[in-house]
Amino acid sequence: MKARHTPRTRPLVALTGLALVLLLLAPSVAAAGLKDRIAATLARHGMAGPGTSVAVHDLTAKRSVYHLRQSVLRLPASNQKLVTAAAALDAWSADFRFSTQLFIAAAGIDDEGVIRGDVYLRGFGDPTLSTKSFQRRRWNMETGDIQDFVRRLRGLGVTRITGRVVADEGYFDAARRVAGWRPGVLAYCGPLSALTLNEGCGANGGYVADPALAAANALTRRLRAAGIRVGSAPAHGVVPATATLVYTERSATLRQVLVRMNRPSDNYIAEELLKGLGAGFGARGSTAAGAGVAQRFLRSSGIDAGFRIRDGSGLSYENKLTARTVLKLLGACSRRPDFAVFRSSLAVAGVNGTLKHRMRGTAAAGNARAKTGTLNAASCLSGYVTTANGHTLTFAILMNGSPLPIARAQAAQDAVVTLLARSRP
Task: For the chain, give every domain's residue range.
Answer: 41-90+265-422, 96-257
Per-position pLDDT tens, the chain of length 425: 444 443 443 443 443 444 434 434 444 335 569 999 999 999 999 999 999 999 999 999 999 999 999 999 999 999 999 999 999 999 999 999 999 999 999 999 999 999 999 999 999 999 999 998 888 888 777 889 999 999 999 999 999 999 999 999 999 999 999 999 999 898 999 999 999 999 999 988 789 999 999 999 999 999 999 999 999 999 999 999 999 999 999 999 999 999 999 999 999 999 999 999 999 999 999 999 999 999 999 999 999 999 999 999 999 999 999 999 999 999 999 999 999 999 999 999 999 999 999 999 999 999 999 999 999 999 999 999 999 999 999 999 999 999 899 999 999 999 999 999 999 98
Radius of gyration for the alpha carbons in the chain, expressed in angstroms and rounded = 27
- Whether 114 contacts 159, CB under 8 Å: yes
Q: Return the pLDDT at 203.
A: 82
pLDDT given at position 30: 58
The strands making up 160-161's β-sheet, listed across from edge to edge, are: 114-115, 160-161, 229-230
Class of the CATH domain delimited by 41-90+265-422: alpha beta
The pLDDT assigned to 31 comes to 57
Which amino acid, one-letter code, is at 245? L
Longest dimension (CA), the chain: 117
- pLDDT at 32 (0 to 100): 60
Residues 123, 279 contacting (CB under 8 angstroms) = no
Closest CA to 60 of 385, 398, 382, 402: 385
DSSP 190: P
CATH number of 96-257: 3.50.80.20
Determine the pLDDT at residue 142.
81
The four Cα atoms 308, 92, 328, 283 give a dihedral, to 10 degrees, of 30
DSSP code at position 192: P
Q: How many CB atoms lie within 10 A of CB 174?
A: 11
Write the CB contacts of 143 (distance below 8 Å, at least 6 apart in sequence): 126, 128, 129, 130, 135, 251, 252, 256, 257
Taking the C-alpha atoms of residue 237 and residue 124, their distance in angstroms, rounded to an integer, is 15
pTM reported for the whole predicted model: 0.91
